[in-house]
């Protein structure tokens, strides 16, 4: 959530600078002007509205892309919610058409902003902390949440969940949003790691993760729809232990070991025979027409057990990471 502060000039019509004595509700509005942007709303209250000598304004405007502009400091009155002006912070949200339905981006920003304000002022969205203009005067504002009372109920739940750092559903869409606050920035799904050269590993973390030296090379990085970082590293060089860091804190120690198997470098089997490797990392067959894996590798202590069946005549290499550890011949 990004809030741009662009205060309107003090004047008696839209920014009277009356001190707000208490804040006991966040008032929810729709712009009532299909297609208007947050900047349009801000500029209107700073210009045309003053010239027309109309008493109107709001503290925050949320745009169609979810952008947020703050027009008035939170300790001053806005003229937005009639008799509730003296105890509320007001938010106007833009909408693309006359149904008043907010875009997903706008609705998400609205939930996040109300959650932030409820936290800041100790308000409970499920107990009157968030209100509609409609609840104060009966005006059909915000229109969609008046014509869809279920969406309004869901909205209050979403604000409450967002405050608690839990994933929430967008009330007008049902889409689930993972609350950014739910992500612990220091989270790492891996504490200890053992690989062999050439093997890749993907971390899931709350923030960007880095390796302390070049024994691992980063091969991919993306931020998922869930807000977590997914970063892949490839083991490059043998090491007895190297740290991985998030925000300067060591979260994982990784060892890169020489590949090892319990099997002679060369071995021979007959078609139809099965063979099981014990190795220090998962081993794969280089030619599945000769040795085909049976099931997945099974972890046993610090070793892996992997079964193969000889299915065709010829020779096939076995690999751990980028290292060929064995050659099996089938006769
Ligand atoms: Zn309103």
Confidence band, pLDDT 50/70/90 cuts, at residue 75: very high
Report the pLDDT value the prediction gives residue 303, as an integer from 0 to 100.
Answer: 92
What separation in Å is there between the alpha carbon of 162 and the centre of ligand 1?
Answer: 23
What separation in Å is there between the alpha carbon of 180 and the centre of ligand 1?
Answer: 29
Mean pLDDT of the chain: 93
Confidence band, pLDDT 50/70/90 cuts, at residue 46: very high
Which is more confident, 178 or 258?
258
Residue 129 zone, left/alpha/beta (φ > 0; ψ -120 to 50; rest):
alpha
What separation in Å is there between the alpha carbon of 5 and the centre of ligand 1?
Answer: 21
On the question of pLDDT at 106 being above 60, the answer is yes
Report the pLDDT value the prediction gives residue 175, as an integer from 0 to 100.
Answer: 86
Rounded to two decimals, what is the model's pTM?
0.58
Burial annotation 62-92 (CB, 10 A radius, 16+ → b, else e): bbbebbbbbbbeeebbbbbbeebbeebbbbb
What separation in Å is there between the alpha carbon of 298 and the centre of ligand 1?
Answer: 62
Collapsed DSSP state (helix, strand, coil) of residue 223: strand
Burial annotation 186-203 (CB, 10 A radius, 16+ → b, else e): eebebeebbbbbbbebeb
The model's pLDDT over 230-277, given as tens digits with 9 standing for 90+, comes to: 999 999 999 999 999 987 889 999 999 999 999 999 999 999 999 999
The model's pLDDT over 185-229, given as tens digits with 9 standing for 90+, comes to: 778 999 999 899 999 999 999 888 999 999 999 999 887 766 678
On the question of pLDDT at 58 being above 90, the answer is yes
Percent of the chain residues past pLDDT 70, beyond the cut: 97
What separation in Å is there between the alpha carbon of 81 and the centre of ligand 1?
Answer: 6
Report the pLDDT value the prediction gives residue 178, as an integer from 0 to 100.
Answer: 77
Domains defined along the chain, listed by start: 3-182 (3.40.80.10), 192-256 (2.60.40), 266-330 (no CATH)
Report the pLDDT value the prediction gives residue 317, as an integer from 0 to 100.
Answer: 97
What separation in Å is there between the alpha carbon of 110 and the centre of ligand 1?
Answer: 14
What separation in Å is there between the alpha carbon of 58 and the centre of ligand 1?
Answer: 9
């Amino acid at each position: 959530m990004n809030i741009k502060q662009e205060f309107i000039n003090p004047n008696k019509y839209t920014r009277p600078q009356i001190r707000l004595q208490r804040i006991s509700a966040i008032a929810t509005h729709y712009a009532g002007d299909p297609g208007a942007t947050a900047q349009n709303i801000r500029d209107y209250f700073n210009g045309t509205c003053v010239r027309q000598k109309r008493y109107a304004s709001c503290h925050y405007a949320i745009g169609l892309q979810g952008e947020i502009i703050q027009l008035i400091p939170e300790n001053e009155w806005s003229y937005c919610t009639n008799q509730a002006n003296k105890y509320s912070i007001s938010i106007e949200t833009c909408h693309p058409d006359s149904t008043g339905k907010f875009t997903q981006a706008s609705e998400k920003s609205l939930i996040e902003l109300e959650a932030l304000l409820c936290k800041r002022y100790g308000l409970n969205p499920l107990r009157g902390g968030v209100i509609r203009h409609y609840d104060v005067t009966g005006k059909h504002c915000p229109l969609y949440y008046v014509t869809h009372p279920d969406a309004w109920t869901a909205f209050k739940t979403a604000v409450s969940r967002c405050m608690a750092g839990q994933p929430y559903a967008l009330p007008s869409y049902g889409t689930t949003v993972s609350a950014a606050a739910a992500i612990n920035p220091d989270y790492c799904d891996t504490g200890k790691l053992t690989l062999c050269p050439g093997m890749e590993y993907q971390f899931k973390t709350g923030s960007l993760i880095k390796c302390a030296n070049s024994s691992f090379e980063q091969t991919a990085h993306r931020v998922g729809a869930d807000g977590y970082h997914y970063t892949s590293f490839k083991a490059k060089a043998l090491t007895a232990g190297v740290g991985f860091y998030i925000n300067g804190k060591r979260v994982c120690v990784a060892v890169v070991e020489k590949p090892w198997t319990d099997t002679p470098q060369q071995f021979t089997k007959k078609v139809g025979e099965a063979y099981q490797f014990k190795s220090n990392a998962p081993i794969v067959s280089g030619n599945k027409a000769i040795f085909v894996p049976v099931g997945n590798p099974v972890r046993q202590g610090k070793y892996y057990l992997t079964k193969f069946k000889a299915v065709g005549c010829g020779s096939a290499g076995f690999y751990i990471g980028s290292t060929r550890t064995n050659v099996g011949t089938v006769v």
